[in-house]
Structure 1
């Protein structure tokens, strides 16, 4: 059976009608392999994937049909099977954007369990992830270039005893260059798969919806590895439900600039499209991180006849600064965003500049990439992420003074923690204790998002519980500050965080980056924002203008780094308070995720050092004090 969809869901009644279809009838595929095979049967000669080698319009590209994609998936799965990979074995993937990534993903899931890796993570982090999963095979970038991925992959093999085989991928699509001497345990991916049968799975595997398809790393870039397990059924449900909610068609064309080590790129960005026979464009190996792709985005949309577009708010903010310059984007019928709150000012800018309405969705790694959707055409304010997927439920519960979920269910309109239940819930983390912490006693996933449900049953997000600024026991929603600051015409991106305070615990501060060519003082932004924040405790104490807002590899604003900067500013103010204009002032370091550190001279004035250390000790965060020579 192949998936066909009529039109986007536009009302609660339509959603209920979709949900009335029994799941067994609506989505008969037990696995991602069966889903793609069903699409290939109907759309064998239609384009499935096109890789754009550059960000130039009309530049070199390579297209695979659905038939060719399925053949490559068969070859990849059969290669892995010949290497001894069984359904419970793990195949890790460390590749840039490209066609081969789809072979690794879907061929890997057809043979075993796929573990996409973020190649920008540190080597120590990658080692810890591979050891945690016990991956036996790594499919990795196979040429020496600026990415250093090949060298990193070969070093990983020596540090991970379970990693028996590395398959190196030539990004050009053929065998590796002649004379490339491969170490023991390393093979040429494309050369080896070309020797495999391409019309079927030699394993004869019979899939169950409960079989684990993938391990996705979640929890940011610090701390112990958190590997979330996805079942085939969860991933297939996301594809089916998203297509139903948004009215995807086989005639649609989309540009997927999300990285494929991230759940957004793999499931809402790829599998949902493959489920209906859509054409997916892959914009260069570095995707939306390629400045040429952003600069030419509207011309690429026009050239390829894109009908759908999506990106995180930071990407959309960058695109908002790119003029159409005559590009015909009339085929675009829907714009999707998620992963972070959509600033109302950005939504308005998009509508005024391009005539496009941005619709939001809520997704998590733990919900196989999607929980709620605001379908195209639904008129909703920024922050409204729409209805829960069919067969899924959302519940809002109260927060305690620490920002943690309680068991008190709140009525419509009241803000609290968002809980979720649905067929695409993940199968837990590899760490059972971590899994237990993520669910309520009665089985609801604690999403970490704060929001409310309106009278139409739609979910509205206001932020993340961990991002709440807790001032003297009073919970401050950073979105209140961000919406006010983001309304300033000079501001491109902004974020509010809590700065440590010895008395109040946290005080609200904000950071902003400006639009190209814009000029405004920090004091002017502070006055502008304070005037628009009604709640007195939420008025920010300080606004700092940054040349560039820190973002994750997926494009979300990276608040841990902003908290570090905020803490550094507080500590610097304490140094100024204690030392005044004295020459032997301690040096304060605040960078990235590292703890803020203060360097004291060993022979410095003891009374001042003791006074400063006492003030630092009173702060509710860890600050590293280093006594130098």
Structure 2
């Protein structure tokens, strides 16, 4: 490949047409994520690939791996997996908080077979279903000294007969002899790094993956209660990573900070694969990542010490960082990236005023590999989440009753659809004679991905989101299926109907709340029901913040639950509570306009308008102000 073709000039929105004048296949991208790593090890063998922090307090004591060392480690881990019977079409489950061995293990799983990252916070029922769907019989997981709860879950899954092999991870930089592992009948187990030490580090002993082979399966909440596994090919991941790396924002000297969990596509594509293209160093946070309160007290010192230039996080992280006193030189921080949830204006303005660093907003979803659009700090477009990435196709459509799509002109709002090389091949629904069976499950229409999002696209390819056609609640970038909450509430003998929606939240973007109707004569209270649901939902993040009893739930003309009306009520209640202490606020109304919710804040002439604006701007909500006479 030629570097001229690999790296087009990509600095402004105007560069998109010139980039796409060259066919993507002429760019000479690596065949697989393994080929991408091997290329980095050839180009920059002695450059630091990763600095992995043991935890937030020991950020001066990283475990360091050069690109050449990282490749050797991946060879050893992949050869071990092969020795345990893993072949190209076999899934390897990985369930652990971030650590040095998990980074290596994820790349090795994609080399030997297919990586299936899992969140250890999922319920055992959901995890068992994901194991059955993927067919994974090998689990790479946290040991008792890394994450005791995850280790207990892994043992329980093994005792349930779901596993043949458990390969155990230790904390980053762990020293000394680890504790003996308990025996589980019929299950092989051992510490991954110890077992891999005997493997050949010079070469992978199996066949290298091809671009069309599956690289990973990521679990996603979807729009039903059942967990789903979205499949990614090697081409999906390599192309999406290249689209991000191609930006002129990032050069080989750009040091990247990573703290999202590796079961999240953003952590894999944005902070592991994309930096391999230009040989960038990545600093990985300790196991809790952004969920570690101690990290925020040390964060600016970490930025100064490692000269962090780029990072990727959800809006809640930037809300917290905007409250942390800057106690170090953070002039290196140029490109903090944000996505996975709507970005309120106040969060953007607050972080940028606090740090003088411009947020780079993005839009994407697991079914489109990761990123599909990005913003340009030097060419802002108010209200847009960004311009589509090169070679990503986007269209706005109006679905017809017969399932066909009518294209809408630029600027009109409709259902956003994505096409191109990053669209996933489908969800894993089982295994057949020739490998995993994939199905779009209604999300793929003639190769186009139905995102479930409502949006408009202008003539330059900038995307303007206008709400969600789908029902998912997105809490700080974490997808929550409302059915999980509704099922828990409907299990109560006195609940006759239930509906869960997202309520705007100044910190998390949205939090789940629920509405119910009760049987005649019911004595249960709203607080009782909130506690009932908290004890029964499988995901702690899905526990509703409030449960409201109504005489009847709103329904559509055909009798279906009208969630938009519930979201409207939740919006009004939240803004009323937030504005309660500001004198002169008379009322808040929330109305459905088109497919979006718009709040009207009514104030007296004496009200402090600036104070009202400061409060409402903390939410990702459209609103207007009316001054009453």
**How far apart are 1:127 and its partner, in Å?**
1.1
Once the two structures are superposed, residues 570-617 of structure 1 have per-residue CA deviations (whole angstroms, 9 ceiling, x without a partner) of: xxxxxxxxxxxxxxxxxxxxxxxxxxxxxxxxxxxxxxxxxxxxxxxx
The match for 2:467 is: 463
Structure 2 residue corresponding to 1:294, chosen from 296, 305, 311:
296
What do you get for the CA RMSD once the two structures are aligned? Answer: 3.6
| Partner residue in 1 for 2:497 | none
The alpha carbon displacement at 1:165 in A equals 0.9
Q: Which residue does the alignment assign to 2:388?
A: 388
Residues 71, 389 of structure 1: CA spacing in aligned structure 2 closer, same or farther, 3 A cutoff?
A: same
- Report if aligned partners of 1:142, 1:176 keep a CA contact under 8 Å in 2: no
Alignment of 1:236 onto 2:238: yes
Q: Is the 8 A contact 2:396 2:408 kept in 1?
A: yes
**Corresponding residue to 2:188 among 185, 188, 191:** 185
User: Structure 1 residues 23 and 176 mapped into 2: Cα distance closer, same or farther (>3 Å)?
Assistant: farther
**Which residue number corresponds to residue 424 of structure 1?**
422
Give the deviation of 1:260 after TM superposition: 0.2
1:445 CA displacement: 0.5
- Between 1:75-84 and 1:531-540, the stretch displaced more is 531-540
- Alpha-carbon displacement from aligned partner over 1:508-545 (angstroms, at most 9, x marks no partner): 1336999xxxx955485995883797959946699xxx
Question: Are 1:273 and 1:279, in contact at CA under 8 Å, matched by a contact in 2?
Answer: yes
Q: Are residues 1:103 and 2:104 paired?
A: yes
The secondary structure found in structure 2 opposite 1:245 is coil
Whether contact under 8 Å (1:7, 1:248) holds in the other structure is no
What residue is the counterpart of 1:437 in the other structure? 442
CA distance in 2, matches of 1:81, 1:372: 37
**1:11 shift after superposition:** 3.6
Q: Check 1:169–1:370 CA distance in 2 against 1; reply closer, same or farther (3 A cut).
A: same
Cα gap change, 1:99/1:525 in structure 2, threshold over 3 Å: closer, same or farther? Answer: farther
Question: 1:368/1:502 Cα in 2 relative to 1: closer, same or farther (>3 Å)?
Answer: closer
Asked if structure 1 preserves the Cα contact closer than 8 Å seen for 2:145 and 2:170, the reply is no
Describe how 1:320-335 pairs up with structure 2 within 5 A. 320-325=322-327, 327-335=328-336
1:409 aligns with: 407
* Aligned positions of 1:528-607 closer than 5 A: 530=588, 538=597
Distance 2:101 2:320 in 1: 28
Q: 2:454 aligns with which of 429, 450, 460?
A: 450
**For the Cα contact (< 8 Å) 2:590–2:597, is it kept in 1?**
no
> For 1:529 and 1:334, how far apart are their aligned partners in 2?
40
Return closer, same or farther for 1:355/1:37 CA change in 2, 3 Å cut-off. same
CA distance in 2, matches of 1:283, 1:239: 21
> Matched residues in 2 for 1:8 and 1:44: separation?
26
Comparing 499-508 and 207-216, the one that deviates more: 499-508
Match of 2:153 in 1: 152
How far off its partner does 1:328 sit? 1.3
CA contact (8 A) 1:31 1:209 kept: yes
Report the CA distance shift for 1:393/1:220 in structure 2 as closer, same or farther (over 3 A).
Answer: closer
Deviations along 1:93-129, one digit per CA (max 9) or x if unpaired, are 0111111111111111110011001011111211111
Structure 1 partner of 2:201? 198
Q: What whole-Å deviation, never above 9, does each CA across 1:187-236 have from its counterpart, x for those lacking one?
A: 22111100001011111x14321011111111269722211111011111
Deviation at 1:424, TM superposition (A): 1.3
| 1:6-50 CA distance string (max 9 Å, x none) | 687344431122222232331431110000100111111111111
Does 2:20 match 1:19?
yes
Task: Please report how far the alpha carbon of residue 294 of structure 1 lies from its aligned counterpart in structure 2 after TM superposition.
Answer: 2.0
Q: Determine the structure 2 residue equivalent to 1:304.
A: 306
Partner of 2:540: none
User: 2: CA distance between counterparts of 1:251 and 1:513?
Assistant: 48
Q: 1:237-252 to 2 correspondence within 5 Å?
A: 237-245=239-247, 247-252=249-254
The separation in 2 between residues aligned to 1:9 and 1:529, in whole angstroms, is 48
Please give the alpha-carbon distance, in whole angstroms, between the structure 1 residues aligned to 2:584 and 2:136.
Answer: 50
- Answer whether contact 1:493 1:512 (CA < 8 A) is retained: no
Describe how 1:497-512 pairs up with structure 2 within 5 A. 501-502=552-553, 505=562, 506-507=565-566, 508-510=568-570
Cα displacement string for residues 466-486 of structure 1 (whole angstroms, at most 9, x for unaligned residues): 2599xxxxxxxx99x95xxx8
Which residue in the other structure is 2:127 paired with?
A: 126
Q: Please name the residue that 2:537 is paired with.
A: none
| Shift in alpha-carbon separation, 1:499–1:85, aligned structure 2, 3 A | same
* In 1, Cα distance between equivalents of 2:584 and 2:138: 53
Contact 2:240–2:371, Cα closer than 8 Å, also in 1 = yes
Counterpart CA distance in 1 for 2:208 and 2:236 is 17
- 2:43 counterpart residue number: 42
Contact 1:164 1:185 in 2 (8 A): yes
List alignment gaps of at least 5 residues for structure 2. Answer: 430-436, 474-500, 517-551, 556-561, 602-618, 620-629
Once residues 164 and 99 of structure 1 are traced to their aligned partners in structure 2, the CA distance between those partners, rounded to angstroms, is 24
**Partners in 1 of 2:420 and 2:569 — Cα distance?**
37
Distance 1:126 1:336 in 2: 30
The equivalent residue for 2:370 is 369
Contact 2:79 2:205 in 1 (8 A): yes
Q: Which residue of structure 2 lines up, in the alignment, with residue 87 of structure 1?
A: 88
Flag the 1:391–1:172 CA change in 2: closer, same or farther, 3 A. closer
Which blocks of at least 5 consecutive residues in structure 1 are unaligned?
470-477, 543-556, 558-629
> 1:2 & 1:138 partners in 2: Cα distance?
39
Cα–Cα, structure 1 residues 252 and 390, in superposed 2: closer, same or farther, change >3 Å? same
